[in-house]
Amino acid sequence: MSRAQPGQAPLRLAVLGATGSIGLNTLDVVARHPRRYQVVALTAHRQDERLFALCQRHRPRLAVMADAGAAARLTARLRAAGLATEVAAGPEALVAAASRDDVDAVMAGIVGAAGLPATLAAARHGKRIMLANKEALVVAGRLFMATVEAGGAELLPVDSEHSALFQCMPPGYRTGRRPEGVRRLWLTASGGPFRTWPRERLQGVTPEQACAHPNWSMGRKISVDSATLMNKGLELIEACWLFGVTPDEVEVVVHPQSIIHSMVDYLDGSVLAQMGRPDMRTPISLALGWPRRQPSGVEPLDLYALHGLDFEPPDVERFPALRLAREAWAAGGTATVVLNAANEVAVEAFLDGRLAFTDIPRLIEAALETCPAGPAQDLDGLLAVDAEARARVRDHLGQGGRRHGP
């Protein structure tokens, strides 16, 4: 696989979810190093105008839209502009984009279970996978890690916390293996915008408030997950698969400044931490260039400007998502599939004004209690459980859902 070292051919990229936060930050880093990277394929859901602008700048060979209508509009725009980028549409085209022979590395930046088939395809074909899609591990952790191993793929985490843990691992460490000499992993959490709010005030949280993250610039769904702490619950499950540990060996600590992105606690008493400004271009740049580091556009951290680093335990009474994630892992089977599906439906309902903020974890807990969570060994089985869980949660919403607010 190409590593795009000086004097070598550029690393050839497919960016899945190019118009989202991860995709745009990836392309920002790529644009800073035009000789090191070549954009081969870009994908998006429905935002054909945004993808057209990216095609104008990066000139990919292929552009994929999940929506057929958006693909037709994009084709017309490209032809009118005289650009030769091929356009395809649909889930199969996403899989094909991640599997191309002229692609060395895949940025898996699609939010939700929709990105799972393409990410698995990249693993089967031995690509460098820069993983920003939580669902590959939350929904299909065992299957995905086995596919990475069998396909000879290179897996690099892009979530800032998992990237930090990866950077603090022993020399020569590879994802999927239990690291030697490690006592536990510390996942840091900002605590979200409602860290100091009393429980009774949370009932009236609006989508606009939940999406106003104090430190990070993220998409709406991930911002809500951060506000409920479900993002940290999903990251805990991810960490277990990525680093070969159990939930008992992963601690979550609220660190409001988001300067330390995570820590590894070693048996000899050392704690290694990765620090930096809260900017996703740092872990993205690391994954693109690994093992070489390169300029990312992120301003250096000014230690003299820091006024203190605070740490506190998460409040699982006000924010029960962490408890639910641990319970889903303990239940085994497809419980984490149900957890993720229920969360996606609940967050969508909250953003649409059909569910109160405090009802998000209640809906997820009800799904975990009522949806069967048996074994599933293949992608079709996992997606079937995912679909059934979503249908049940939507039925529940239809029976008892209500608008947010007091």
Please, what are the averages of pLDDT over each run of 10 residues along the chain (406 residues)?
59 97 97 98 97 98 97 98 97 97 97 88 98 92 96 97 98 96 97 93 95 76 93 96 97 96 98 96 98 97 94 96 96 95 96 96 96 86 93 86 42
Domain hosting 73: range is 11-157
Q: What is the pLDDT of residue 56?
A: 98
Residue 57 lies in a domain: yes
Specify the DSSP element, H or E, that contains 124: helix 116-124
Domain count, the chain: 1
Residue 180 lies in a domain: no
Residue 94: which CATH number?
A: 3.40.50.720
d(CA 282, CA 263): 16
Q: What are the residues facing 43 on neighbouring strands?
A: 64
Q: What is the pLDDT of residue 24?
A: 97
Q: What is the pLDDT of residue 303?
A: 95
Residue 184 lies in a domain: no
Residue 96 lies in a domain: yes
Residue 380 lies in a domain: no
According to DSSP, the β-strands at 260-266 and 271-275 are antiparallel
Residue 373 lies in a domain: no
d(CA 325, CA 97): 32
Residue 76 lies in a domain: yes
- Contact of 124 with 101, CB cutoff 8 Å: no
d(CA 194, CA 73): 41
Residue 386 lies in a domain: no
Q: What is the pLDDT of residue 2?
A: 37
- Contact of 404 with 350, CB cutoff 8 Å: yes
- Contact of 85 with 55, CB cutoff 8 Å: yes
